Structure 1
């Protein structure tokens, strides 16, 4: 669509494919998660924006990419969609998906994709303890009843915001869930993050596969590719 003499815009799904040819797979995944998520990364001097309507959906991206044929970037875009989904509410949630779920050969830990921002109803006991009817979980693996939450300064809104207080944690544990919390400092420190990832792998009943001699170099390359993103302090 032409909006002025020398300015044209295209639909988000086509833009997603066009960007794929000029960046890494990891950054393409982050683009996809943002397009299907409810936040927008900083542009110019604008801060990160939260609680906005998704630009598109995973289904729309996948459908368009499947029909894109030989459009330049379509192959990488389809590869990136293996790690994309709806529901990310912050840049860090998207970063954690990449770090945890990218395959070992690309420097990740090879975890299965989680459900993002899953809402679970509170039990009566949990309602009494927290005065909340339900909880939203940043990353959730249903089969393992495992919740991973990022403790940062990102805003999630009054009704569904992440609370780091002990009563919420205790309520989730009381409901039978395991809860792992991650801070910005944990993410920045590769040794701390590796220890947390191995703890999560145990809870997911996964055998840690990152044992190849060159995996550390691939992990460092992946981290350096995506961690220049602004990470809010805890």
Structure 2
């Protein structure tokens, strides 16, 4: 009797892709992996153990099944019913009998069990240039290739939504907050806050792109030593740049000089430049004032936020950036 193929999904698949991206390795595509010539095929428990090791995850291994009748009877496996499309292009084989869900179906699966803000952050991560390792201490790897794009995630989620697949609706909501190009977890948190509606506690100032190159004229390139610049956040209309400085109080002189040169070039190119610092993110009053400045540039006719909106914003700010710490003004 042929052994059933194990399709890894949900958090176990997320752990796999995080590990593969951070290690900069190709998946194991050897069809004989896990087998011994002349021996019987691996038992279900053995294949589950192999899958757990390959995914760098903790047991139980989350396995996708089409319905309850296809559940695997194994203590090391958690069966998760997912009725969304899982064709060959949506799966990556790591052997003859184990496959991993690719990012597109995976994102919809996570929509079933992941809060909206956390799901948006995962969207930023999958489509950005960093990865958060699932090793318990939130180690971050930088300079990675994106695993997918927001457009590809949306295409799958829209198809799944048409089929009434669970998780697809929340996936689309989360993708409305995310964009390609994030370079760090903090940038993703800021991006989520900016995109969230004011009713949900955000700034309601979406429509930006992240880390997209702007060509620098030759006469200005000598100022920054580069032919292009990548602003952290850019609203192409009305030509607004937002730069995040990670720690206002511990930047050395050289870094301050580079930041100032970037701002001069942006301004010479006709952009308005706003600088967001870490002390603003942890101070409700400072953050509200900063958002008012952005609103004046992006959406000048917007009404003043209500007290209820500001209260919700304070809770969202704490959720994303930590407990409030008021610095001297």
Q: Is the pair's TM-score, using the shorter chain for normalization, greater than 0.5? A: yes
Q: Give deviations 1:41-100, integer Å, cap 9, x for gaps.
A: 243236211110111111211111112122221111111121222111111221112211
**Equivalent residues in 2 for 1:204-215, closer than 5 Å:** 204-209=298-303, 211-215=305-309
Structure 2 CA distance, aligned partners of 1:172 and 1:223?
28
* Residue of structure 1 equivalent to 2:145: 53
Q: 2:107 aligns with which of 10, 13, 16?
A: 16
Equivalent residue for 2:159? Answer: 67
Structure-2 residue corresponding to 1:115: 209
**1:5 maps to which of 43, 47, 55:** 47
SS at the partner of 1:5? helix
Q: Report what 2:96 is aligned to.
A: none
Q: Over aligned residues, Cα RMSD in angstroms?
A: 2.4
Moved over 4 A (4+): 161-164
Partner of 1:192: 286
Structure 2: distance between partners of 1:164 and 1:19:
40
The normalised TM-score by structure 2 is: 0.62
Q: 1:45 and 1:108, CA in 2 relative to 1: closer, same or farther beyond 3 A? A: closer
- State the match for 1:142 in structure 2: 236
TM-score by length of 1: 0.85
When the two structures are aligned, how many residues end up with a matched partner?
A: 222
The 5 A counterparts of 1:147-186 are 147-152=241-246, 164-186=258-280
Contact 1:36 1:58 in 2 (8 A): yes
Alpha carbons 1:104, 1:210 under 8 Å: kept = no
Q: Deviations over 1:109-133 (max 9, x none)?
A: 2113201112111123311322221
Looking at structure 1, the residues matched to 209 and 187 of structure 2 have their Cα atoms a distance apart, in angstroms, of 11
Deviations 1:130-179 (A, max 9, x none): 222111111001111111011127xxxxxxx9984322221221221111
Q: 1:63 to 1:38 in 2, by over 3 A?
A: same
Against the structure 1 CA distance between its residues 47 and 210, is the aligned structure 2 distance closer, same or farther, given a 3 Å change threshold? farther
C-alpha distance in 2, partners of 1:131/1:139? 21
| 2:120 paired with 1:26 | no
Counterpart-to-counterpart distance in 2, 1:42 and 1:186: 28
> Unpaired segments of 5 or more residues in structure 2?
1-6, 9-33, 35-45, 52-62, 64-99, 248-254, 323-329
Contact 2:178 2:192 in 1 (8 A): no
The question of whether the paired residues in 2 share the 8 Å contact of 1:109 and 1:197 is answered with yes
Higher relative contact order (CA 8 A, sep 6+): 1
Instruction: Report if the CA contact (8 A) 2:242-2:273 is conserved.
Output: yes
Check conservation: 1:25, 1:76, Cα contact below 8 A: yes
Tell me how far apart the structure 2 counterparts of residues 128 and 106 of structure 1 sit (CA, whole Å): 44
Unaligned stretches of 5+ residues in structure 1: 154-160, 229-234
